């Protein structure tokens, strides 16, 4: 009960936002604002991804369930010791999950190319994420090594220190990721750099390095993101957002939004939310793997992979709600810094056009994919801010 109370307290402390509680978002007529033709095309384009994602999740869960039932046979064939065998089973399960994922990801890439949203060749697409996959393999191996070691010493009491291990690994990767980034270059736009210095002063930030990632040879889609912790904090712009059709005013809104993620400490808060999910997730792992000998036994690892995948899927709507709430707060702080609601509204329209995004997606789609507020909701916030002024 104490653990539950602490989790609720943590959620209570992390949940507040700078967005006024009484802010009322009006309805946005997306057909007239974006054009009915664009809205219809965007909905047809995104409908494919909904179906593709659903089939991919079903295939993953079914495959991992089969692996959970039959993967135990590999235990007897390994001479790597209990922990070594568990790590091998974990890597094998991750490889199987990746292979199941590939056809659906390939279908999504084909669809993007068909709609002229991505020009990356199939060969380049296949090999572009090897570094991420290697990092996933490494993190799974490290997590299994530590968790199985804890479980073999502590028995069923491993789950709380085990959750701390999960959070520690996530924090470590968040901190070092910017130092491992060799794909970006420093931003050289003097106007944006000057705006950044002014925004940092208003937001109470120190200097945040701004960098650019070249993607224009592969896609017309635009993006920017904040990452890193403490001294490793960065903001990265895709080069597509630094050129037409995006205006200087829209770029300044993007800049203020990303800096607001750092000023509002969204990345450390994200780790806090990760801990709130990791603790019950670790307890669920402990409870479900008991009949396989617990997490100290290699036979429990295939089942653990299935449980983790199912838990992540079940938690997705709540995680998306939390992410959307942070994104809305970053929008609000950007409005307070730039005093340019028209710039935010124009930015949303341009993002909808370049990314072929449905400005007002179905509710179920938002639950599954909505880690940002819809374009219509963000425009409604800009208009609500303008009315308050």
SS (H, E, C) 171-208: HHHHHHHHHHCCCEEECCCHHHHHHHHHHHHHHCCCCC
Q: What's the pLDDT score for residue 63?
A: 96
What SS3 class is residue 295?
coil
What SS3 class is residue 29?
coil
Share of the chain above pLDDT 70, in %: 97
In this predicted structure, the answer to whether residue 183 has a pLDDT above a threshold of 90 is: no
Containing 25, the helix (H) or strand (E) segment is: none
In this predicted structure, the answer to whether residue 136 has a pLDDT above a threshold of 90 is: no
Angle in degrees, CA 338, 339, 345, rounded to 5: 90
Write the CB contacts of 62 (distance below 8 Å, at least 6 apart in sequence). none
Q: What's the pLDDT score for residue 222?
A: 93
Range of lowest pLDDT (15-19, 80-84, 147-151, 183-187): 80-84
Angstrom distance (rounded) from CA 304 to CA 177: 27
Write the CB contacts of 166 (distance below 8 Å, at least 6 apart in sequence). 143, 274, 278, 281, 282
Angstrom distance (rounded) from CA 13 to CA 19: 15
Containing 223, the helix (H) or strand (E) segment is: none
How many CB atoms sit inside 10 A of residue 8's CB? 11
In this predicted structure, the answer to whether residue 77 has a pLDDT above a threshold of 60 is: no
**What would the mean pLDDT of 8-26 be, rounded to a whole number?**
92
Q: What's the pLDDT score for residue 137?
A: 79
257-312 residue pLDDT tens: 999 999 999 999 999 999 999 999 999 999 999 988 999 999 999 999 999 999 99
330-387 residue pLDDT tens: 999 999 999 999 999 999 999 999 999 999 999 888 988 889 999 999 999 999 999 9
Q: What's the pLDDT score for residue 356?
A: 92
Angstrom distance (rounded) from CA 67 to CA 317: 26
Angle in degrees, CA 258, 261, 262, rounded to 5: 100
Range of lowest pLDDT (102-106, 138-142, 339-343): 138-142
Give the pair of three-digit tokens for residue 183: 């794909």
| 259, 159 contact by CB (below 8 A) | no
Helix axes 248-263, 190-203, angle to 10 degrees: 40
What beta strand segments (E) does the chain contain? Answer: 184-186, 210-213, 224-227, 234-238
**Dihedral angle of Cα 220, 221, 226, 227, to the nearest 10 degrees:** -90
Angstrom distance (rounded) from CA 270 to CA 263: 13
Q: What's the pLDDT score for residue 60?
A: 96
Angstrom distance (rounded) from CA 156 to CA 295: 8
DSSP at 19: S
Angstrom distance (rounded) from CA 50 to CA 56: 10
From the list 63, 61, 56, 60, the residue with the least C-alpha distance to 105 is 56
The torsion angles phi and psi of 210, rounded to 5 degrees, stand at: -110, 130
Write the CB contacts of 256 (distance below 8 Å, at least 6 apart in sequence). 195, 199, 333, 334, 337, 338
């Amino acid at each position: 009960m104490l653990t539950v109370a602490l989790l609720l307290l943590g959620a209570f402390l992390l949940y507040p936002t700078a967005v006024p509680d009484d802010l009322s978002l009006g309805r946005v007529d997306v057909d007239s604002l974006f054009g009915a033709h664009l809205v219809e095309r965007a909905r047809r384009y995104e409908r494919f991804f909904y179906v593709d994602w659903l089939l991919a999740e079903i295939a993953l869960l079914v495959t991992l369930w089969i692996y959970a039932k039959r993967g135990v046979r590999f235990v007897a064939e390994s001479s790597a010791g209990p922990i070594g065998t568990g790590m091998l089973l974990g890597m094998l399960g991750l490889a199987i999950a990746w292979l199941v994922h590939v056809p659906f990801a390939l279908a999504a890439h084909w669809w993007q190319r068909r709609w002229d949203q991505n020009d990356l060749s199939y060969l380049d697409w296949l090999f572009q994420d090897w570094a991420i996959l290697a990092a996933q393999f490494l993190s799974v191996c490290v997590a299994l090594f530590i968790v199985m070691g804890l479980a073999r010493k502590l028995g069923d009491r491993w789950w709380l220190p085990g959750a701390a291990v999960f959070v520690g690994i996530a924090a470590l990767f968040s901190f070092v990721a910017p130092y491992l980034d060799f794909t970006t270059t420093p931003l050289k736009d003097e106007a944006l750099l000057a705006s950044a210095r002014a925004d940092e002063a208003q937001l109470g930030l120190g200097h945040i390095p701004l960098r650019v990632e070249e993607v224009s040879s592969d896609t017309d889609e635009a993006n920017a993101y904040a990452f890193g912790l403490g001294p490793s904090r960065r903001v990265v712009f895709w080069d597509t957002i630094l050129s037409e059709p995006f205006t200087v005013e829209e770029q300044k809104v993007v800049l203020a939004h990303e800096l607001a993620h750092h000023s509002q400490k969204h990345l450390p808060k994200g780790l806090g939310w990760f801990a709130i999910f990791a603790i019950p997730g670790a307890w669920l792992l402990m409870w479900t793997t008991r009949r396989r000998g617990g997490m100290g036994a290699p036979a429990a690892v295939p089942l653990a992979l299935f449980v983790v995948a199912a838990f992540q899927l079940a938690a997705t709507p709540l995680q998306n709600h939390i992410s959307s709430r942070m994104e809305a707060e970053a929008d609000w702080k950007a409005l307070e810094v730039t005093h340019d609601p028209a710039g935010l509204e124009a930015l949303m329209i341009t993002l909808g056009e370049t990314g072929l995004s449905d400005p007002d997606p179905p509710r179920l789609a938002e639950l599954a994919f909505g880690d940002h507020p819809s374009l219509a909701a963000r425009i409604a916030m800009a208009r609500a801010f303008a009315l308050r002024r």
